Structure 1
Amino acid sequence: MKIRSALFALATFSLSAAAVAGPQCTEAAKDSWLPEATMKQKIADAGYVIDKFKVTSGNCYEIYGKDKAGQKVEIYFNPVDGSVAKEKRG
C-alpha cells in the first residue's frame, strides 16, 4: 500500500511539473543562437523593459518584465530567430 501511495504521489508531482513547464523552443546547437546581448537589445527595441532574463531548460530565452504600457509580461523567445514561443501577460 505504501508503494502504491508513493507511486501515485510521484506521478502526480511529475504531471504537475510538466503542466507548469515552459515550452521547448529549439534543439539547435547553441552556436546558432543569437547572442544574449543581441537578443536583449532586440527585446528592448520592441519596447519591453527586462527585469529578469534567463535561458530555460527548454532552450528558450525567457524574460520577466514590462511591455510599453507597463503591463507585466513573461515571454519565451526562440533563441535562434528571436520569435515569440509563448507569452503571458498580467
Structure 2
Amino acid sequence: MKVRHLVTAATTLCIGTAAFAGPQCTEAPKSSWLTEDVMKQKIATDGYTIDKFKVTSGNCYEIYGKDKEGKKAEVYFNPVDGSVVKAKQG
C-alpha cells in the first residue's frame, strides 16, 4: 500500500513540474539556428534590452529584460527564424 502512495505522489510531482516548463520552440538542428550574436542583435533591434540570455531545454532562446516601453519582459524566441513564441510582460 505504501509503494502505491509513493508512486502516485511521484507521478503527481512530475506532472506538476511539467506545467511550469517553457515552450518547445523547434526540433531543428542547432546548425540551422541563428547564432547567439545574430539573435541578440535582432532582439535589440526589436527594442528589447537584455539582462539575461539563455538557451532553454525546449530549444528556445529566452531573455529576461525590458521591452521598448521599459517594462520587464520574459520572452521565448524561435532560434531558427527569431520569431516570438511566448512573451510575458509586466
Which TM-score tier does this pair reach, normalised by the shorter chain?
over 0.9
Matched letter for residue 18 of structure 2? A
RMSD value, Cα:
0.8
| TM-superposed deviation, 1:52 | 0.5
Aligned: 1:79 with 2:57 = no
| TM-superposed deviation, 1:73 | 0.8
SS of the residue corresponding to residue 85 of structure 1 reads strand
SS of the residue corresponding to residue 34 of structure 2 reads coil
| TM-superposed deviation, 1:82 | 0.3
TM-score when scaled to structure 1? 0.95
Q: What is aligned with 2:14? A: 14
Q: What is aligned with 1:55? A: 55
How far apart are the structure 2 equivalents of 1:7 and 1:71? Answer: 43
Identical-residue share of aligned pairs (%)? 69
SS of the residue corresponding to residue 47 of structure 2 reads coil
CA offset digits 1:32-68 (Å, max 9, x no partner): 0000000001001111110110000000000011111
| TM-superposed deviation, 1:9 | 1.4
How far apart are the structure 1 equivalents of 2:79 and 2:85? Answer: 10
Matched letter for residue 80 of structure 2? V
In structure 1, list runs of 5 or more residues that go unmatched.
none
Structure 1 outlier segments of 4+, above 4 Å: none
In structure 2, list runs of 5 or more residues that go unmatched.
none
Matched letter for residue 77 of structure 1? F
Aligned: 1:46 with 2:43 = no
How far apart are the structure 2 equivalents of 1:15 and 1:24? Answer: 17
TM-score when scaled to structure 2? 0.95
Q: What is aligned with 2:36? A: 36
